[in-house]
Amino acid sequence: MKKNTLSVALLATLLGLAACETKDITPAPNLQGNGTSTNPTNPTTTTKPTVTVETGSAGITTNTTWTANNKYLLKGFVYVGSGATLTIEPGTVIVGDKDTKGALIIEPGAKIMAMGTAAKPIIFTSNQPKGSRNYGDWGGVIITGNAPVNTTTGKQLAEGGVRTTYGGIDAADNSGVFQYVRIEFAGVAFTPNNEVNGLTLGGVGSGTTIDHVQVSYSGDDAIEWFGGTVNAKYLVTHRTFDDDFDTDLGFSGKVQFAVSLRDPLQADQSGSKAFESNNDSGGSTNSPRTSAVFSNVTAIGPILNPGAAVYSPQYTAGVHLRANSAQSLMNSVIIGYPTNVLIDGGVTAATIANGDARFKNNIVAGALSNSNSTAGQRNILYVGPTLGNSNLTPNNTMSSDTAAWSSAVGPLTWFKATANANRRYATADNVQLLNPFNLTSPSFVPRTASPIVSTVPASFTDSKLTDSFFTPVTYIGAFDPSATTSSNWLAGWTNFDPQNTEY
């Protein structure tokens, strides 16, 4: 979660929301394009007519189709109301208006049918010319539904000044299909804890289909789940300003095959991470618990070389479990964060000790080594027992072990336990990925000498991974070491240089 970005004057003019103090504002960086696009299927530069979508409070109330022969401009909040379905053709380009922070909101009972293809992805992006785009140029995409959230009322008002309330009792609720979609330069933090992310999912049910989604240059979190049960595969987050994958309010879905890549110099003052997970803001025992299961993730942080690291001091951790979260991460690779795993608060430690949150069969590499823990290690740090906002900031102090860890003895012992099968490496180079830190043309595929190939096979025997949703592959991380260029699941539809793409 992020605490900044939109100017007070613009905020007051557009939405009449309460202004935040100047000290809460961190200006988004001024981006300049670099490199060349690696996407072979960028939209044709043929000029298409632009259709302005400005619905006001009425929203879209009947079934509507957006076609690929037009470009669509979102002005202000564009709601799709209950009972209506918005269908978006493959190859359609939708741009968000910068002045009004255009956003698309799918309300409970509505559906979005955005079914792109590898050859013709659906693209949500900035309306600014190439070379002039920036974090937070527009609002983002918000999908909401009637699946459970763990608030006391079972309902939650969406953040960002949106009118929509989500949540309910239908775990299998269906908000549509969201496939082969790119979201670029979205994400606005209006006030602290009042943000629109690149992709926000609130109370979205398991009947919804989400796969092959890339979120680039989000001015807040790339993807944030607030409750719900929706599952997802093949997710990409690129140069996010705050967190890549943020879970809260009882999200209990499953995610497999995801990759995140960070810009070393761009991070948020609240502390940026690949994963941030809370049961809720107060660390309550409210149910459903935040108990998402992620498998086969490759998370590339800002630190290429721990001995000569050049990165924003706002980076915190690769994985930040806090506020009684029971989220699990398995068969994954976390590389290049100041602290790779940060366990926050005694209640979270107790959740781990009970076996509710699991961290197994993972590789962590390239963390710094300036803590008070054994040999200065920062592969894992425990901050506790009290949960507090200060723990969102970078930290290199291991708290004393407490009874909360129970038979796990302590965080480092738990992390190193043979049964958990985690591996630690000093540098990113030890993991032997092809070119993971290249911001415009990366390759996350393991080399033949990688421990992913030779040492650390995947395991799907844990009870949290036996669901038929998970594909039981033999490798950890997001990418098959034997994949060819054409069989790599990133091929064709992703774009790691949208700053220089003509839309």
Q: Residue 28 above 70 pLDDT?
A: no
pLDDT of residue 392: 62
Residue 10 phi/psi, 5-degree rounding, is: -65, -40
Contact by Cβ (8 Å): 282, 305: no
Residue 10: pLDDT band with limits 50, 70, 90 = very low
SS3 205: coil
Sign of the Cα torsion 429, 431, 434, 440 reads: negative
C-beta of residue 264 within 8 angstroms of C-beta of residue 310: yes
Sheet strands (E) in 384-483 = 423-425, 433-435, 443-446
Give percent of the chain with pLDDT exceeding 70: 88
Residue closest to 275 by CA, chosen among 328, 324, 202: 328
Average pLDDT rounded to a whole number, residues 185-194: 82
pLDDT at 379 over 60: yes
Please give the model's pTM, rounded to 2 decimal places: 0.92
Q: Among 68, 63, 30, 73, which Cα is nearest to 46's?
A: 68
Length of the chain: 503
Average pLDDT estimate for 281-301:
97
Nearest to 363 by CA among 333, 326, 394, 329: 333
Contact status, residue 87 vs residue 66, Cβ threshold 8 Å: yes
Least confident of 4-18, 110-124, 411-425, 463-477: 4-18
Please report the beta strands in 54-158, taking only residues with DSSP state E, as ranges in sequence order. Answer: 64-66, 71-74, 77-80, 85-88, 93-96, 103-106, 111-115, 122-126, 140-144, 156-157
Q: Give, as one character, the DSSP assignment of residue 376.
A: G
Nearest CA to 481 among 261, 333, 358?
333
Mean pLDDT of 429-454: 96
- In the structure encoding, which two tokens stand for residue 391, read together? 């723990």
| Predicted pLDDT of residue 375 | 92
* pLDDT on residue 319: 97
pLDDT of 417 > 80? The answer is: yes
| Closest-CA residue to 476 (of 273, 329, 304, 341) | 329
Which pLDDT value is given to residue 409?
76
Of 295, 176, 289, the residue nearest 230 (C-alpha): 176
**How does strand 176-184 pair with strand 111-115?**
parallel
pLDDT score of 406: 73
Q: What is the pLDDT of residue 387?
A: 67
Asked if 223 and 197 count as a contact pair (C-beta separation under 8 A), the reply is yes
Position 472 pLDDT exceeds 90: yes
pLDDT tens, position by position, 75-128: 999 999 999 999 999 999 999 999 999 999 999 999 999 999 999 999 999 999
Per-residue pLDDT band at 190 (split at 50, 70, 90): confident
Residue 167 has pLDDT above 70, yes or no: yes
Alpha-carbon distance of 271 to 279, in angstroms, equals 18
Q: What count of Cα atoms within 13 Å lies in the side-chain half-sphere of residue 169?
A: 1
Query: Is the pLDDT score of 14 beyond 60?
Result: no
Contact 278, 323 (CB under 8 A): yes
Peptide bond into 385 cis (omega under 30): yes
Beta bridge partners of 85: 111
For the range 469-473, what are the long-range contacts, defined as Cβ-Cβ under 8 Å and sequence gap of 24 or more? 469/231, 469/254, 469/256, 470/254, 470/256, 470/295, 471/256, 471/257, 473/296
pLDDT of 6 > 50? The answer is no
Q: Report residue 43's pLDDT band, with 50, 70 and 90 as the boundaries.
A: low
Distances (CA, A) of 130 to 125, 126, 134, 238: 11, 9, 10, 17
Integer Cα distance of 156 and 258 in angstroms = 27
What value does the mean pLDDT take over residues 234-245?
98
| Gyration radius of the chain's alpha carbons | 21
Average pLDDT over residues 330-334: 98
- For residue 7, is pLDDT > 50? no
Q: Tell me the CA end-to-end span of the chain in Å, nearest whole number.
A: 30
User: Given this model, what pLDDT does residue 388 score?
Assistant: 55
CA distances from 275 to 99, 260, 272, 323, 418 (A): 31, 10, 9, 13, 24
Identify the pLDDT of residue 309: 83
CB atoms near residue 225 (< 10 Å): 29
Which two tokens mark 63? Answer: 């079934």
pLDDT of residue 45: 59
Higher pLDDT among residues 489 and 404, named by residue: 489
* Residue 23 predicted with pLDDT over 50: no
